[in-house]
Amino acid sequence: MDTLEALHTRVSAPRLGGDPPDENVLNNIFEAALRAPDHALLRPWRFIVVKQDGLSVLGDLFADVTKEMNPDATEAEVEKARGKPLRAPMIVVVVANVTKHAKVPDIEQVISAGAAAQSMLLAAHAQGIGAMWRTGGMAYHPSIHAGLGLSGHEQIIGFLYMGKREGKSRNLPGLSVEDYVSYWEGPGNTSA
């Protein structure tokens, strides 16, 4: 698959199964991430791979945090949270590792980590791996950060679920470039 085809055809895959990507495929995914735009070469990211037994451990952490956030949570709600990491054979937790820098604001570092995540999704798609970027309340909760070993200056950008796509790929509606692009030629001179 060439680059433009990957960019034009990637869609999220909510139903994933099979085995985790093999080491060669996973290395290609991470090499793509490492080419994300990165002002001052800070490398403001890191990636935590969760698979096999780690998925159940992460599920237990999600269940504990669900009870922490809502002591009145029903058993069904707790079990739903516990099952979330089991929706794929592997999860890559994308972490923004933000450091103070005189010329690179925090937001640029977070965006760089987000660009790394997008590159990973594209590299997965180009190699026939289904993927889904998920966040939700668990991505922002301090107990999840502590459980995953994040330091105080780190934040989760997303959980990238990966595996073999199950079911049909969604057909997204076509979008018109003209609806999102304008050309600026100076103050008061913007055209579609």
* Greater pLDDT, 1 or 37: 37
Q: What is the pLDDT of residues 91-139, one digit of tens each?
A: 999 999 999 999 999 999 999 999 999 999 999 999 999 999 999 999 9
Write down the pLDDT at residue 17. 97
Q: What is the DSSP string of 49-63?
A: EEETHHHHHHHHHHH
Which residues 6+ apart lie within 8 Å of 75 measured at CB? none
The rounded percent of the chain whose pLDDT value lies above 90 is: 91
In this structure, what token pair is assigned to residue 160? 């990238």
Predicted confidence band of residue 145 (pLDDT cuts 50, 70, 90): very high
In a domain, 143, yes or no: yes
Per-residue b or e along 95-126, where b marks 16 or more CB atoms closer than 10 Å to that residue's CB: bbbbeeeeebeeebbbbbbbbbbbbbbbbbbb
Largest CA distance in the chain: 59
Mean of per-residue pLDDT scores for the chain: 95
Which residues 6+ apart lie within 8 Å of 94 measured at CB? 33, 45, 47, 113, 114, 116, 117, 120, 156, 157, 158, 159, 160
Spatial CA neighbour of 12 closest among 148, 145, 98, 122: 122
CATH number of the domain bearing residue 158? 3.40.109.10
In a domain, 181, yes or no: no
Asked if pLDDT for residue 192 goes beyond 70, the answer is no
Asked if pLDDT for residue 168 goes beyond 90, the answer is no
Q: What is the pLDDT of residues 170-184, one digit of tens each?
A: 788 889 999 999 999
Q: Is the dihedral of CA 86, 87, 90, 94 positive or negative?
A: negative
- Kindly report the CA angle at 139 between 160 and 52, in degrees rounded to 5? 50
Q: Is the dihedral of CA 162, 163, 167, 172 positive or negative?
A: positive
Q: What is the pLDDT of residues 15-44, one digit of tens each?
A: 999 999 999 999 999 999 999 999 999 999
In a domain, 184, yes or no: no
| pTM as predicted | 0.94
In a domain, 73, yes or no: yes
Spatial CA neighbour of 132 closest among 12, 20, 48: 12
In a domain, 91, yes or no: yes
Spatial CA neighbour of 93 closest among 163, 31, 26, 155: 155
Write down the pLDDT at residue 15. 93
Give 25: exposed, middle or buried? Use CB within 10 Å, 0-12, 13-18, 19+.
Answer: middle
**Number of domains present in the structure of the chain:** 1
Q: For residue 105, give its domain range.
A: 3-167
How many residues comprise the chain? 192
Write down the pLDDT at residue 1. 87
In a domain, 185, yes or no: no
Write down the pLDDT at residue 171. 80
